[in-house]
Amino acid sequence: MVTASEARALGSRLTVPLLVIGLFELLTYRLAAPALRPAGDTAPGLGHEVLENIGLFGFHLASVLTAVVLLLLTVPTLVRGDGLLSRAVGLVCSLLALIALVLHFAPASVVLEIALNAAYGLTIIALVASALAGPGELGSRIGVALLAIPLLVHVATPLISLAMGEQALFSGLPETITAIGHWTLIAAASASPYCFAPRPFVRSAMRPAPALVGTFVGLVAAIIVRKHFEVGATLASYGLGVELGPGIPQHMVALALLALGTLSWTLVSCFMATSPARRRIGVGISLLLVAGYGFTWPMQYALGAVGLLIVARASRELEGQEPADERAGYFKAPPIEAETWQAYVKALCQALSTDSEATTVTTEHEDQRQTRIHAELDGMDLSIEVEASDDSIVRIDVLIGEIGQDEPAWTLSARPEKRHGVHPSPPQTSAKLNKIGDVPFDDRFRVRGSRQLTDQLLDDGLRARATALVDGWLALWPASGLGFRVCPGRGAPVDHPIPITELAFRPAGAPITVDKMIALLKLLREIAGRGIRS
């Protein structure tokens, strides 16, 4: 039986194939087939019929796959949602996917079309609320709201027309709303670099590839509109759902072309990013672009919802993934001489060699050094990995058992000390955020996982010890192991659990103590013994 986390992971893996298939449908069914159809009463040739059939196949495939992906991404939140808002997102997205799927196969009706627009509007509102209320990088969360504004404006048009009845035909209000939608669309595309470009922004702005692609796209579009306005208007209408009528002001055309080039810059920057979450934002914006602003077919509603959902979720995962987070308040630990470090490792191995002899391996490459220690602690496998750059420790990992193949069932992350910057986040999990009711503990940590599992892992005594000893994060895979990570100086103290400052300025012959590390390892071993199924 497929679990909720497995279904969500499958949906995430299908987003890139969905983008490829959606792009294929856009190029064949919405662009090439209508643009190349013979004018007047001339019958289309065999080649055009083949093109239309290929495009129709892509249209049906994209429609079904879009609904399936949206259901896979959101139904699990109905089972294991993180709070009421998360479940609301899952409910409205699932409802939208089902309505779009029904409308794709069933004859169109006014009731279903109203339901589709209403479900789409509720989906957009719920996604914006979840992005703004949750954690994550501020710029991308604001970007989600900016992307949503033109979508909500578009949804308002048919709903207002329905409410006004025949009066809407003579009021001119729908046309006004459509114009507002186009302006907000231009504004959202123009602001996209400031919201979604990889951080630090200055570094992204200096990269030549995004600038070249954005300039090229803008120039080509400008030449087409300038030399062949009808062709440009047709491509904009069929492909993007943006109407460039004969009476459109020239300044609006110029702004639209500038926005197109700017959005191209943003997409290339996101796809070139080192952060996985930032690249997923690029996929989400691309899906919104492929869906277009015409909303002629139910698939376009569902595809736009998938795109905004991906952007909203990825914005919550950006913290700690980019150099901007490393810079802010980041304190570089003082370097430790190689001889002193080896003496510390030797002392730690001696302290761990109670059940069996601990082993250690140190590898060096240019200015990077990794030290790995393997031991047995009270009958369980223990692995320690310490990474240093220019002899300064940047990461300490501890693993008891093995990392699981699935997402962790439980995570604990220490709230970062602001003066030390932002600590990297624990592995992503769909487990629910919980408070224990222990005020000092809740003020110190964020816990994701069931209350039953938390009580099983941490009694009163262990919570007090964890509050005193744990920085960084813990992640539990009940079937395999417990992981711990701390990055000294990045949202965490420099001297815990390794006394880095003491080692860096240690006088010759001074004793070396490993008490802090041993105390932490014993705590982790006790938690692992309670949580790992034998």
pLDDT, one tens digit per residue, over 89-126 is: 889 999 999 999 999 888 878 888 888 989 999 999 99
What average pLDDT does the segment 481-503 reach?
Answer: 91
pLDDT bracket for residue 46 (50, 70, 90)? confident
With a CB cutoff of 8 Å and minimum separation 6, the contacts of 216 are none
What average pLDDT does the segment 39-63 reach?
Answer: 86
Per the listing, tokens 């420790």 go with 393
With a CB cutoff of 8 Å and minimum separation 6, the contacts of 450 are 409, 410, 431, 432, 434
Tens-place pLDDT, residues 391-442: 999 999 999 999 887 889 999 999 876 555 677 788 878 777 888 888 889 8
Across 33-47, 122-136, 236-250, 457-471, which has the greatest mean pLDDT?
Answer: 457-471
Q: Pick the more confident residue, 159 or 189.
A: 189
C-alpha span between 341 and 357 (Å, rounded): 19
Residue 138 has phi, psi (to 5 degrees) of -60, -45
C-alpha span between 180 and 197 (Å, rounded): 26
Residue 38, CA atoms < 13 Å, CB-side half-sphere: 10
Give the burial string for 210-234 (b: 16+ CB within 10 Å, else e).
bbebbeebbeebbebbeeeeeebbe
Q: Pick the more confident residue, 246 or 519.
A: 519
C-alpha span between 220 and 182 (Å, rounded): 21
Tens-place pLDDT, residues 320-367: 566 544 444 456 789 999 999 999 999 999 999 887 889 999 998 888
pLDDT over threshold 90, residue 522: yes
Length of the chain: 534
**What burial class does residue 482 get, using C-beta atoms within 10 Å of its C-beta: 0-12 exposed, 13-18 middle, 19+ buried?**
buried
On the question of a cis peptide bond just before residue 200, with omega within 30 degrees of 0, the verdict is yes
- Predicted local confidence at residue 331, as pLDDT: 67
Q: Judging by DSSP bridges, how do beta strands 380-389 and 392-401 pair with one another?
A: antiparallel
Specify the pTM. 0.70
* CA distances to 141, 281, 336, 418 from 499, in Å: 38, 39, 10, 21
C-alpha span between 60 and 77 (Å, rounded): 27
pLDDT bracket for residue 42 (50, 70, 90)? confident
